[in-house]
Amino acid sequence: MRRVAGFLLVGGYLLVASGCAMLAPSPPEDQRNICEIFREQPSWYDHARAAEERWGTPIATQLAFIQQESSFRSHVRPPRTRLLGVIPWRRPSSAKGYAQAQDPVWGEYRDDAGGLFARRTHMKHATDFIGWYNARSRRQLGLSLHDPERLYLAYHEGQGGYRRGTYRAKPRVRQAARQVAARADRYQAQLGACEAEFRCRRFYQVWPFCRA
């Protein structure tokens, strides 16, 4: 009886988890253009702007991080390794969600700023997490919040790893950081041409105050 109950409990959990994944927004079709991303998901602009106001990381940098980490897939996780080359085995890390935050640092974020109900699969919490993490990199490492390349290196390697320079022996990580910086610059230029569209889309947002 206990075994049956256990199977039912696990099955119910898997059903809920798969249902949440099915209800999550689809990744934007055109991820090269931040205006098109926000046109598909206008609430993402609100989340990113709130994170910018709270922590200081520009909207364009937040979205560039998320595109690099997950390509805007809400429930993505690292693929499992293969035991004996065939059997699905453990995942290489606990990274999950839009920002690919791992369990330990996500726990720190929830305790410090995110709250008990913060979810890695929700864009609101993913953007806030990136803002929180970059603010910590600024505080601990003296990095500028307008330097997405170095911020990403600290994000990928951790503040301790960045301080030790672990990224210097990882050409792929350095290349990814350069890609993030180039994408953030492109997103920033694009956002300058369309941001008023998202600031003023609600009935209570009255021009010209919503453009400030």
Q: What is the DSSP letter of 184?
A: H
Q: Residue 84 has what pLDDT?
A: 55
Q: Residue 18 has what pLDDT?
A: 45
Q: Residue 60 has what pLDDT?
A: 98
The token pair that represents 17 in the structure block: 């988890």
Higher pLDDT, 85 or 48: 48
pLDDT at 58 over 90: yes
Q: Residue 24 has what pLDDT?
A: 79
Question: Of the candidates 64, 61, 78, which has an alpha carbon nearest to the alpha carbon of residue 31?
Answer: 64
165-177 as b/e: b if 16+ CB within 10 A: eebeeeeebbebb
Confidence of residue 93 (pLDDT cuts 50, 70, 90): confident
Confidence of residue 85 (pLDDT cuts 50, 70, 90): low
In this prediction the pTM is: 0.84
Let me know: does 44 contact 37? Beta carbons within 8 Å.
yes
pLDDT at 207 over 80: no
The arithmetic mean of pLDDT across residues 132-153, rounded, is 98
Q: How far apart are CA 59 and CA 127, in angstroms?
A: 9
Three-state secondary structure readout of the chain: CHHHHHHHHHHHHHHHHHHHHHHCCCCCCCCCCHHHHHHHCHHHHHHHHHHHHHHCCCHHHHHHHHHHHHCCCCCCCCCCCEECCCEECCCCCCCECCCCECHHHHHHHHHHHHCCCCCCCCHHHHHHHHHHHHHHHHHHHCCCCCCHHHHHHHHHHHHHHHHHCHHHHCHHHHHHHHHHHHHHHHHHHHHHHHHHHHHCCCCCCCCCHHHC
Question: Residue 13, exposed/middle/buried by CB under 10 A (0-12, 13-18, 19+)?
Answer: exposed
Largest alpha-carbon pair distance within the chain? 66
The token pair that represents 48 in the structure block: 């990113």
Q: Residue 82 has what pLDDT?
A: 59
Q: Residue 25 has what pLDDT?
A: 86
**Among the listed ranges 74-88, 115-129, 164-178, which one has the minimum average pLDDT value?**
74-88
User: Could you report the per-residue pLDDT of 184-200, keeping only the tens digit for each?
Assistant: 999 999 999 999 999 87
Q: Residue 201 has what pLDDT?
A: 72
User: Which residue is associated with the tokens 């979205």?
Assistant: 63
